[in-house]
Chain A
Amino acid sequence: MRCNDFDDLLKMKAESLPDHAALRYGDKSWTYRELYEAVCAKAKDYAASGKTCLGVLADGSADCVISLFGAAKAGLQLVMLDASLPDEAYPMLLAYTDVDILWGDPDLCEELAPYLTKGVENGAGNVLFFTSGTTSRSKAVCLTQYSLCQSAWNGGSLLPLAEEDTLLNLLPLGHVFGFVCGLMWGLFCGACVALGRGPRRYTEDCLFYQPTAVSVVPLLLGFLLKARALNPGLKLILIGAGDCPDPILKAAKMTGARVSFGYGLTETSSGVALSLGDDPYAMTVCPDDTVTLADDGEILIRVPTCVMKGYYKRPDDTAAVLKDGVLSTGDLGRFDENGLLHITGRKKDILVLSDGTKIYLPEYEGQLAAALGNPELAVALKDGRPVLIVHEEASDTDPAERRTALLKQLSPLMKALPRGQQITDVTVTAAALPRTATGKIKRYELSSLL
């Protein structure tokens, strides 16, 4: 049964499964009734605060979950923030998204207090997630409680969890995949959601909670597999937010768990298609989604229940991708003879990293070019990590010295970026970067320069 908002979902579960385990965090647990009562109590506090827009520096804890649901019930707009950003990124993000109250690490909240705004009007129901781009131009995707609830139904109807299942969430709630496929999916199905206890416990949480299902990004899955940290009782591994290298996929399958791969976007409140069979790359489109392909193979999606309202305060950016209810994804795909969707590439200049984050190349390369005073450069992936290729005229300088000098020049810029997005190596080439007739970099030829 579909739900209209978070309160609708939690109230329904509290009435139908009052004594069933809803949430676990460490040694503490909440039934669905206890969870709803805690959310209602928190909602009273937020309603009394007079605030309008809660910035959630999400740490994935039970208090975080209860607080965000409580604030949503009280009518506050939610802004899901990555708690691991460089400190200097937050003031701009708070101003952009009209945050007037914060939840999170007390020290960080105190530091950011001077940057709180006057708030927002008519923000009730909105839940903002940032697209995983470089932070200086991160766009906030305006989803709603309704779209997120519909998304949980949409994916859950294809890949349901049983009420006896325990879904372990190790993913950040500030990322829509973590929020929907690590939290909402579990609650919607009436399962128990076990919240990971933080990065220090990544290798222990499966053994501690004994989940039957887990949602992961490829980087984390590889880490857990290498550490042999997955519990034998695991029945389902849902991989999303990025391409998964074949060795990791194979190793996951060898655990005996069912492995399902998900394709989705922040702009569609997460899931669009899920693999349900043996081929992880052959995906069934979720029931609410209508997927068509443009002439060049770009995936176009119509999903009125789950699509974003738009990019927050960015009407031009919204209009560029959302026309007459159809979202242009920038991803390329094809349908096979069974009508299953395969992702074949990316049209946009975006690199998707194995931790699920994305690099918007034109913007990132612009920043690198400014830092080096040289526009002749391009970012590529090598072994899943971002590397920089720079064209310079041939010289007598020792290549290793030149590489070191360039990395040093980039150091101030790198310090402002999340670790996974930092340039890990520089290749200097006397060869011109391969370009099309219109001057665009031929990214598929860059690997030959590495």
Chain B
Amino acid sequence: MERTEIIEKIKTTISDCFPDMEVSSLEEDSVINTETSIDSMGFVLIICKLEALFDIRIPERQWQKLSTLGDVADAIEKRLPKA
């Protein structure tokens, strides 16, 4: 799966979880904590939905390290089956 597709799916998931949030301006280096209104519980919700969407599991220990959209995309990409 292309990186751009992963990023788009992340943004779509965020939008599904938070319909009032403007996601079109989010980029790879967007910091989730500061550039969105997503709190820690909202972050849990998004990660769970992404895990289900991509059929992967990101260890909870790693969630703390996911600051930017790019970090989330890295975590997903790393766990996708290699083509």
Q: Which parts of A403-430 form the interface with B (CB within 8 Å)?
A: 407, 411, 414-415, 418-420, 422-425
Q: Is the CB of B39 within 8 A of A84?
A: no
A/B pair count, beta carbons within 8 Å: 60
> Could you list 13 A-B pairs, sorted by A, with CB under 8 Å?
A84-B60, A84-B61, A108-B61, A198-B60, A200-B48, A219-B40, A219-B41, A223-B42, A407-B31, A411-B67, A418-B40, A418-B64, A424-B33
Give complex CA distance A420, B34 in Å: 11
Known contacts A383-B37, A384-B39; A199/B60 CB under 8 A: yes
Query: Contact residues of A with B, CB < 8 Å?
Result: 83-86, 105, 107-108, 198-200, 202, 219-220, 222-223, 227, 355, 383-385, 407, 411, 414-415, 418-420, 422-425
Extra pairs beyond A384-B39, A423-B33 (4, CB < 8 Å): A83-B60, A108-B61, A219-B39, A355-B40
Task: Using CB atoms, name the residue of chain B closest to A224.
Answer: B41
Ranked nearest first, the 4 interchain pairs of A and B with the lowest CB-CB distance are: A223-B41, A420-B40, A199-B44, A419-B40
The verdict on B22 contacting chain A, using a C-beta distance below 8 Å, is no
Q: Which residues of B contact A415 (CB under 8 A)?
A: 65, 67
Residues in A whose Cβ lies below 8 Å from that of B27: none
A407 near B41 (CB under 8 angstroms)?
Answer: no
Asked if B55 is at the interface (CB within 8 A of a chain A CB), the reply is no
| A220 to chain B: closest residue by CB | B41
Q: State the main secondary structure of chain B at its contact with A.
A: helix
Complex contact B67–A423 (CB within 8 A):
no
Nearest-CB residue, chain A, relative to B29: A408
In the complex, B54 has a CB within 8 A of chain A = no
Min distance, Cβ A56 to any Cβ of chain B, angstroms? 15
B5 to chain A, nearest CB (A): 24
Q: Nearest Cβ distance between residue B51 and chain A, in whole angstroms? A: 7
Q: Known contacts A219-B39, A220-B41, A223-B41; is A423 also within 8 Å of B60 by CB?
A: no
Q: Are B44 and A202 in contact (CB under 8 A)?
A: yes
* A259–B12 CA distance with the chains assembled, in angstroms: 36
Residues of B contacting A407 with CB < 8 Å?
31, 34
Instruction: Determine the chain B residues whose CB is within 8 A of the CB of A383 once the complex forms.
Output: 37
A419 lies within 8 A of B43 (CB) = yes
The residues of A that contact B45 with a CB separation of less than 8 Å are: 223, 227
A385: B residues at CB distance < 8 A: 39
Chain A residues within an 8 Å CB radius of B40: 219, 355, 418-420
Contact B33 A419 (CB under 8 A): yes
**Contact among B41, B43, B51, B61 for A83, CB-based, below 8 A:** B61
In the assembly, what is the distance between CA of A415 and CA of B66, in Å? 9
CB distance from A405 to the nearest CB of B (A): 13
- Complex: how many Å from CA A384 to CA B38? 12
A380 to chain B, nearest CB (A): 15
Cα-based distance from A442 to B29 in the complex (angstroms)? 35
Question: For residue B33, which residues in chain A have a CB less than 8 angstroms away from its CB?
Answer: 414, 419, 422-424
* Nearest chain A CB to B31 CB, angstrom units: 7
Complexed CA–CA distance, A355 and B33 (Å): 15
In contact, B34 and A419 (Cβ under 8 angstroms): no
Q: Which residues of chain B in 44-74 are interfacial with respect to chain A, using CB atoms and an 8 Å cutoff?
A: 44-45, 48, 51, 59-61, 63-65, 67
Are B41 and A222 interface neighbours, CB within 8 A?
yes
A419, B48: Cβ atoms under 8 Å? no
Residues of A within 8 A of B34 (CB): 407, 422-425
